[in-house]
Amino acid sequence: MLQLPKAAEPLASSLSIAFTRPTWQRAILLLVGAILARGRRTVTGVLRTVRPVAQGHFSDYHRVLSRAPWSTRPLAHALAAAVLELLADRNEPVVLAVDDTDTQHRGDRVYAKGRHRDACRSTRAHTVWLWGHRWVVLAVLVRFPFAARPWALPVLVGLYKPKALNESEGRAHRTPIAVARLLVSTLLRWFPDRRFILLGDGGYASHGLAAFCHARRRRLTLVSLLHPRAHLCELPPPRPAGKVGRDRVRGDKLPHPQDAVKAAAKRTRTTVDWYGDGRQRIEYVTGTGQWYKAAEGLVPVRWVFVHPCGRDGDGDDGGTRADRYLYSTDPRLSPARIVGLYTARWAVEVTFQEAKQRLGLGRERSWCEASVCRTAPCLLGLFSVVSLWYHRQAGTRPARLATDPWYADKAAPTFSDALAAVRRSLWDQTIFSGAFGHGALKQLKPKFRETLLDELSRAA
């Protein structure tokens, strides 16, 4: 068994419950290799990196993902418990972000491959399609003491499967929103004593998801985008005494949010938390009502129209932020709180970018059902593992921030710094200790040894 740094031992011990002992010995080596590897995180690429400490035949490590009997569900449970330990105040709700990301994967035999719209390269006038997988990710927003902005740590990942595949396998088709509901239900069941606030973008702004959260309103609130022409109404009045027939399902119609904004005589100005770690002055108009949709009933919401102000209080902040209509299924939330929560959702987009650039998400080459359903969720979970690992060791050894001239004003570590710090501890305390038990690295001059470890930690 590899000797991990002390900062990683508690987390590794909690994750080991998902594996048998022989499988865990290979899985922990794949974990270390995925952190240290350069380029694609294929099993072969990982084994090249940790070759001095890898034991057994190389096919044994391939079978960890394709054939070994283990499930990602207990692994996700242990990881979610470790993340929620950072949020000790149980009176405060846990903030979740749900979103999906696409990974390209060519091949005729790739399981669950489909055609998806590439949101990064598509525009309003032109749509770019890619063939691959769509992953629905549920992440917990955590504010680390060393970071200026919240980090989105993935804890649950679901694969959206094309309709044709579900029909061929005799399974009911699930949309990405249905997959998200399943992930949220799992987290609610695992942690019955916690309350949650779910943040979603326009793809998760459906009335169905709002009704799902309203049905669990004691523990779950949704904050998302609202259509400017959303159908709002009042509660149905009580049926008059003596009148026969069914009760009314909705009350009098209210103006659409867009019409209410046009009719508003005055807009309120305030300063709110904005994307990243900044603050922004905004103008807003707010209202409440019952959001109605046939066959799904009424959902009470508070909607907020948000107009970002420029530095002089007028304009739209250089055109970089458009007007938004937001809503919350908890009408008691203040408008500033709703805006601050929604803009914090951007952290999950940063997580996707870092996972693809730093951890090789989307460049894996698995194709069978077991390996497809395991590899990408494990790479997304690796983002959370590295973040928790760095949080534990940050107090003993602060990260060395990037010293490039264009980062002269960098004050807080980013994920690349966290990954470099974790890599450094692995090279120092795991790889060199395991490969060269006689302590060859310690015999080097201290300055050269530190330089060597720094360069190894940044090589990726």
- Quick: pLDDT tens for 180-224: 999 999 999 999 999 999 999 999 999 999 999 999 999 999 999
* pLDDT band (50, 70, 90) for residue 397: low
Is 412 part of a structural domain of the chain?
Answer: no
Query: Within a domain: residue 391?
Result: no
The phi and psi torsions of 452 (rounded to 5 degrees) equal -60, -45
The Cβ of residue 320 has, within 10 Å, a number of other Cβ atoms equal to 8
Using 50, 70 and 90 to split pLDDT, how confident is the model at 406? low
Residue 404 has pLDDT above 90, yes or no: no
**391-423: string of b/e by CB count within 10 Å (b at 16+)?**
bbbbeeeebeeeeeeeeeeeeebbbbbbbbbbb
pLDDT, position 320: 47
Q: What is the pLDDT of residues 141-166, one digit of tens each?
A: 999 998 889 999 999 999 999 999 99
Q: What 3-state class would DSSP assign to 63?
A: helix
Residue 316 has pLDDT above 50, yes or no: no
d(CA 7, CA 95): 26
Give the residue-averaged pLDDT of 311-317.
42
Q: Mean of the pLDDT values across residues 22-49? A: 91
Residue environment code for 44-60, b if the CB has 16+ CB neighbours within 10 A, otherwise e: ebbbebbeebbeeeeee
Is residue 173 very low, low, confident or very high in pLDDT (cuts 50, 70, 90)? very high
Domain residues for the domain of 117 are 73-236+250-352
Q: Specify if 446 maps to a domain.
A: no
Whether 394 is in a domain gets the answer no
Choice between 277 and 460, residue whose per-residue pLDDT is larger:
277
Lowest-pLDDT choice from 54-68, 145-159, 410-424:
410-424
Contacts of 137 (CB under 8 A, 6+ apart): 98, 99, 100, 101, 154, 156, 157, 348, 351, 352, 380
Of 63-67, 72-76, 435-439, 448-452, the range with the lowest mean pLDDT is 435-439
Q: Please list, residue by residue across 11-24, b when 16 or more beta carbons sit within 10 angstroms of its beta carbon and e when fewer do.
A: bbebbbebbeeebb
Q: What is the pTM of this model?
A: 0.93
pLDDT category at 398 given cuts 50, 70, 90 is low
pLDDT of amino acid 287: 97
- Tally of domains within the chain: 1
Count of beta carbons in the 10 Å neighbourhood of residue 67: 11
Confidence of residue 63 (pLDDT cuts 50, 70, 90): very high
| Residue 318 reports pLDDT greater than 60 | no
Token pair for 385: 């593992």
Whether 268 maps to a domain, the answer reads: yes
Q: How far is CA 35 from CA 12, 278, 363, 454, in A?
A: 14, 31, 15, 15
Q: Answer for the pair 61, 30: CB distance below 8 angstroms, yes or no.
A: yes
Q: Tell whether 87 is covered by a domain.
A: yes
Q: Give the tens place of pLDDT for each residue, 214-263.
A: 999 999 999 999 999 999 999 999 888 878 878 889 999 999 999 999 99
Confidence of residue 319 (pLDDT cuts 50, 70, 90): very low
Q: For residue 170, how far is the Cα from the chain centroid?
A: 30
Contact 228, 372 (CB under 8 A): no
- Residue 29 forms part of a structural domain: no
The CA-based dihedral angle spanning residues 185, 187, 189, 193, taken in that order and rounded to the nearest 10 degrees: -130
Q: Which two tokens stand for residue 224?
A: 């998302």
CATH number at residue 143: 3.90.350.10
Quick one: average pLDDT of 357-370?
93
Q: Is residue 77 part of a domain?
A: yes
User: DSSP assignment, residue 412?
Assistant: S
